[in-house]
Amino acid sequence: MSDDMANAPDQALAVRQALLPDQGAGPDTVAKFFRALGDPTRLRLLEFLLHAEHTVTECVEHVGLSQGRVSTHLACLADCGYVAARREGRRAYYRVADPRVADLVVLAHALAADNRAALACCDRIDAHHH
């Protein structure tokens, strides 16, 4: 085997590592960031907020859950930095906090579609147990 071929895995790893920003967000933090999207209701809410700002009432109508449950999900998304809220009188308006979230959601949908069969067969990640 040539030296170039022997170094290929090391070079590929170096390229992948170079793509990751070095801002102190380790794997545990990133995993927690993704767990916020692990709930279908939170993902639906986030997708609903991608294109426009909405009130809690509009979010409740969109997902069909109680206001208390929707508020809890929105608080989780806000705590994890996905959405931001602004108050106007008694109403709270939620919006996506960072435009990169849209890119993340679109990419996640594309990857999930490309891996649909594998995901359907995966029994290591149970959607009902967190």
- The residue ranges of DSSP E strands in 1-130, in sequence order, are 54-55, 83-88, 91-96
Q: Can you tell me the distance from the alpha carbon of 48 to that of 78, in angstroms, rounded to the nearest whole number?
A: 14
- Could you give the C-alpha distances from 95 to 29, 46, 70, 92, 130, in angstroms and in order? 23, 8, 14, 10, 26
Dihedrals φ, ψ of 22, to 5°? Answer: -95, 75
Gap between the terminal Cα atoms of the chain: 45
Return mean pLDDT, the chain: 84
The confidence score (pLDDT) of residue 53 equals 97
CA 84 to chain centre: 14
Contact assessment for residue 116 and residue 61, using Cβ atoms and an 8 Å cutoff: no
The structure's pTM equals 0.74
Contact assessment for residue 77 and residue 83, using Cβ atoms and an 8 Å cutoff: yes
Instruction: Read off the pLDDT of residues 108-120 as tens digits, 9 standing for 90 and up.
Output: 999 999 999 998 8
In the chain, pLDDT over 90 holds for what percent of residues? 57
